[in-house]
Structure 1
């Protein structure tokens, strides 16, 4: 193992409840009272993919740009005023990776502005070598593009990368990229099928990097 690639939403920050509330509030603001979608359907998708799907599903008259602007301002404001820390165990894991000189990246379908807001909020910039956002790729998860781009920027072969994901689409993307994957069963991410992952955990504290190097058969 030469690199660990982190998803952000649901892995570094427990943001899914925030996104879900803002999504519902936005639909009500736009006059939608009967919801046809399920929040976990969007987990792992890029922001623009979510906005496009939402607009089509509800036949909204607002443009995608208007939907994006509405959500962007509120999400950033909500993240900045959070009192929460990163998900339990993340700071310790990042410190351990730094100690063992293992490269790190964030590969998140969120917009770069959201990612930078989270990293700034928690003071984590020094822990990540590379950040790849949904803005940087053409195909969102479950396509492997975002993880392959992160590996390329890290100058690490995919077979030597470990991905930490909380979504079905993310675990599929990681395996499609020929990477090892740990599925984090975050209850706030909805009922995600993590069966594609090499290991499934219920706490970030369960991740043992030295053990994984020995047991997950990295090249």
Structure 2
């Protein structure tokens, strides 16, 4: 798929694209795994990256045949994440993303946030880093029946952006997110985040490891 000739709407993932929170999500997940006595391999964890927390725990409960409520596990993990989020002063935006957001906003493009994170976490990030002013809409995969790799979140993003899919682009850092964009029929930039080395991004339409490159394209 070629880069759209006229880009009107940019759909951003959040974790790993806007904020370098993958590490604290991972810490929160593994603390939760330890609390319920399961050992999750790196390969299994990789399949969860990019999914909503409820979908991830539904998968784990089925995988390990656990007699546990996935929604209770979500709350368990969320408390741990909030603790890391509020007490980690080093938490920061991904390098170059604020400049990219400003670049897109100044060009009059519509910006939509489409994240698998719960809306409470999205709002926490957007309020901390003052990002609400740039975005037309925010969508949480946790509010949908299925999160990424299901394409619904990006189909909904295009609708909320009031933009035809052929004039939209997605920026993603996970294989689940890339697949969701592929299946939605929307051009997807794969951002190679150094903290997400286990993601291949092989099916992205264009891969970048520096957001400055996108200033010339978007």
- Would you call these one fold, judging by a TM-score over 0.5? yes
Shift of 1:205: 2.5
Shift of 1:71: 0.9
Shift of 1:190: 3.5
Q: Distance in 1 between matches of 2:160 and 2:23?
A: 31
- 2:165 pairs, out of 118, 143, 158, with 158
- Please name the residue that 2:65 is paired with: 59
* Residue 35 (structure 1) aligned with residue 43 (structure 2): no
Please list every run of 5 or more consecutive structure 2 residues that lacks an aligned counterpart in the other structure.
Answer: 1-6
- 1:99 pairs, out of 93, 101, 106, with 106
C-alpha change, 1:156 and 1:125, in structure 2 (3 Å) is: same
- Please name the residue that 1:16 is paired with: 22
Q: Distance in 2 between matches of 1:8 and 1:192?
A: 16
Shift of 1:2: 0.4
- Please name the residue that 2:208 is paired with: 201
- Please name the residue that 1:139 is paired with: 146
Q: Could you say what the CA RMSD is over the residues aligned between the two structures, in angstroms? A: 1.6
- Please name the residue that 1:217 is paired with: none
Q: How many residues align?
A: 210
- Please name the residue that 1:216 is paired with: none
Native 8 Å contact 1:129 1:154 kept in 2: yes
Give the secondary-structure state (helix, strand or coil) at the position aligned to 2:51: coil
* Residue 212 (structure 1) aligned with residue 192 (structure 2): no
Q: Distance in 2 between matches of 1:141 and 1:66?
A: 21
- 2:9 pairs, out of 3, 10, 21, with 3
TM-score scaled by structure 2? 0.89
Please list every run of 5 or more consecutive structure 1 residues that lacks an aligned counterpart in the other structure.
Answer: 214-219
Shift of 1:182: 0.6
